[in-house]
Amino acid sequence: MRSELLAVLLALSAGSCIAPSVVSSSGRSVSASAPNDWRPAAPADLAGLFESVAVEGSDAQALARVLYHFTLDADVDAAGGVYTGAALVIGDGAPQFQTLGGVWRVLAGRLELDGVDAAGVQVAGEWLRLESESGAIVLRKAALL
């Protein structure tokens, strides 16, 4: 069974079941400043591994780290492919990794995960921004070792 919080993470829907103010959101960003020349992402912009550098909005209360790997696969979808994602979730008790994977695509600057409109998606060089009503996750392309 997929938890409500994981759906928040990967589908970026509003709300979560984690208690607020568990961990200060200021501890979940890095000093590198994100660019300001964002543009709507195309499918090719999402190919590869991305790791979070900032979580903004209500999602910051519970998400310590977010990772996504997007693989282009025209056999799955001409505008996307397959993805996997993981989040280190802070809540009651010990932090836990939660994961999910499926099919993704990008249409008109919107990211769909498993057929559900999940977030606005923008890119600036190696940076990726996923934005919804509940907040935003800023990610940076990372090397897959």
Q: What percent of the chain has pLDDT over 70?
A: 78
Q: What is the pLDDT of residues 53-99, one digit of tens each?
A: 999 998 788 899 999 999 999 898 889 999 999 999 998 889 999 99
Q: Which of 132, 45, 137 is CA-nearest to residue 87?
A: 137
- The answer to whether 95 and 65 have CB atoms below 8 angstroms apart is no
For the chain, the structural domain boundaries read 4-14+37-142
Higher pLDDT, 57 or 3: 57
Say if domain 4-14+37-142 classifies as CATH 1.10.10. no
Judge whether residue 23 has pLDDT over 90.
Answer: no
Average pLDDT, the chain: 81
Name the one residue in this structure whose structure tokens are 């959101």: 25
